[in-house]
Structures are given as structure tokens and as C-alpha cells.
Amino acid sequence: MPPAERSCQPGDSRGNKLRHKATHVVPGQLKTGSLGDGRRFLRLDDLRTSNGPDLFVYLSVTPADGQRDTFDDNFVSLGRLKGNQGDQNYEIAAGVDLRRYQSVVIWCRRFTYAFGAAPLR
């Protein structure tokens, strides 16, 4: 997938910051965007988080400041976290209604634990 800066449609960027959650520091920013062919993506810029087992990127209906054990109650997975540092793109499936989700979460499946969360809106 091309880098977000070269392919993002105007007005699609969000720029929300991932925040510290529990003992895992997760600085970075997130953006959503779309490509000319209609595909959508989530971009994580300057991500830095603790390394952990079984980490995934979720879109959750739970707000970013919600209870950490509820992020996986109603969510869609964008896939495994590609790395614990750096810039990353995650494709958002065509059928996903972004208006339904309130947060982006770095989620550890093994320990059912949120490493970090940020508002999607």
C-alpha cells in the first residue's frame, strides 16, 4: 500500500494521538484515509510501544478513555501489529462502518489487555 501522505484524500486525516494506557507507553499519531480506488486505511505514525506477545490493532466501539477490559467486547481487527516502532498502514475492509467505532486500540490477545488507545474521531 502506498504511504498515506501521498495517497490520502483531502479531509480524511484525523491526527489523533495514541495515549498512555496502564504501564505501556504508546506515543504516536493515527490518521485514516482513502486511496483513489476506494480502499481505506488506518495509518500509525511514529508508534513506539512495549514489545508484547500477540498484539493486534482493533477498532473498538468503546471510547479511548473507557474501561480497558471492554475494548474487545465489540470490535473489528485490522490485523497483527506490524511492529512496536515506526510508521504502519492497516487496510480497513470495505464493509466496516467507521461511524460505529470510537477508538483505535493496540490489544494483547494473550493477556486480554490494552497497550494503548486513541479516539478514532
Quote the pLDDT of residue 17: 54
- Give the separation between CA 66 and CA 72, rounded to whole angstroms: 11
Write out the three cell numbers for 16: 489523533
Among the listed residues 115, 75, 81, the one whose alpha carbon sits nearest the alpha carbon of residue 98: 75
Note the pTM of the prediction, 2 decimals: 0.80
- Amino acid (one-letter) located at 28: G
Going residue by residue through the chain, which has 121 residues, state the pLDDT in tens, using 9 for 90 and above.
333 332 333 334 355 555 544 444 466 788 898 888 989 999 998 888 888 889 999 999 999 999 888 999 999 999 999 999 999 999 999 999 999 999 999 999 999 989 888 898 7
Quote the pLDDT of residue 21: 45
Quote the pLDDT of residue 23: 42
Quote the pLDDT of residue 18: 57
Quote the pLDDT of residue 78: 98
Among the listed residues 48, 45, 58, 59, the one whose alpha carbon sits nearest the alpha carbon of residue 16: 45
